[in-house]
Amino acid sequence: MRILLLGSTGAEATFRAWSDWLSCAGVPFDAIAIDGQRAPVAIVDEAGDARYQGLILASGGLAEAALDASQRAALERLERELGVRRLTAYAYPGAEYGLSPPVWAGPLESVSATLTPSGRQVFPYLREQLPIDAGSWAYLATPAVRKGFDTLLAGPDRSALVGIHRHPDGREEMVQLFDANPAQTHGQVLRRGQLAWLTRGTYLGFERNYLPIQIDDVLLPNHSWDVEAHETDLSPEASIRMTAEDATRAANWSRARAEARSGVQRRRQRATRAPGRSHSRSAARGAAGRA
């Protein structure tokens, strides 16, 4: 259960972003930068079965550049027969993706990106509007064939930014029309859902959340979370700070836990010593009787 990540030079933002994300998530993958040469990669094994669970292309056209005709034919067969999926992480819109030519190109942060009903199924953990960091280039295009392209993330005037292209023969490919480096929020929040779609929800890996605590975070006031607005409340009256009562409660809790552990240890010691003492007394009485 491995993912194949293909790039051109290995320096592309999307290649580095997906390589970093898959590594952090613990997902097994092979990352290959073709650098103008045919990648020495086999899509199928000796038995003709898939070597990879899914394919991620850092940019459009890489499958044609990296694979010869027989390997491309094998890949398309696996996509038709086994449902292997591919993701093009940064594509120029065109008919090969079920899209019309771009109607606009420019900085991604200058447009709004909204999840469609289909997008909410693929990215159920996201809110309706995608948070966007500055620094990404994007294309806007409309689906050329309505039944062949399902928009997941929409731009203005029914344009698409992310969607699924369904080929007439049943093959499926997710297409993203903007780039994203490893540090940009809009790419980070999408990759979890994209990987789940690519692997049909089953892949090796793990998710980790870290909560680092520093001393100034404990002793100084901090902002609180508004559970109704689902955002941080920055107003001074909503700030939270540890009080003397909080410190006393934490100290009492810590002492109670320590005493409970100490009591368990004492009971274990008594339990392990009792048989030894009984055996010694029995042995002593036996020796006295023989004397």
Distance CA 175, CA 153 (A): 10
| Strand locations in 136-252 (E) | 137-140, 149-154, 160-166, 172-176, 224-226, 231-233
Distance CA 54, CA 38 (A): 19
- Look up residue 27 and give its two tokens: 């997902």
Q: Residue ranges of the alpha helices (H) in the chain?
A: 13-25, 62-66, 69-81, 117-122, 185-198, 215-219, 244-290
What is the phi/psi pair of residue 46, to 5°? -60, -30
Predicted confidence at residue 280, as pLDDT, reads: 45
Predicted confidence at residue 283, as pLDDT, reads: 45
Residue 279's pLDDT band, with cuts at 50, 70 and 90, is very low
The more confidently predicted of residues 212 and 119 is: 119
Winning range, highest mean pLDDT, from 47-51, 72-76, 181-185:
181-185
Residues 6+ apart with CB under 8 A from 176: 87, 88, 89, 90, 91, 161, 162, 190, 194
| Average confidence (pLDDT) over 172-176 | 97
180, 186 contact by CB (below 8 A)? yes
| DSSP for residue 128 | S
184-188, 243-247, 264-268, 271-275: the lowest-pLDDT one: 271-275
Q: Residue ranges of the alpha helices (H) in 10-100?
A: 13-25, 62-66, 69-81
Q: Are strands 160-166 and 149-154 parallel, antiparallel or unpaired?
A: antiparallel
Residue 97's pLDDT band, with cuts at 50, 70 and 90, is very high
User: With pLDDT > 70 as the criterion, what percentage of the chain qualifies?
Assistant: 88
Nearest to 56 by CA among 95, 13, 4, 124: 4
| pLDDT surpassing 50 at residue 282 | no
User: With pLDDT > 90 as the criterion, what percentage of the chain qualifies?
Assistant: 58
Q: Which CATH architecture has domain 3-198?
A: 3-Layer(aba) Sandwich (3.40)
| pLDDT surpassing 80 at residue 41 | no
Residue 284's pLDDT band, with cuts at 50, 70 and 90, is very low
| Average confidence (pLDDT) over 129-140 | 96
Domain boundaries of the chain, sorted by first residue: 3-198, 254-291
Residue 136's pLDDT band, with cuts at 50, 70 and 90, is very high
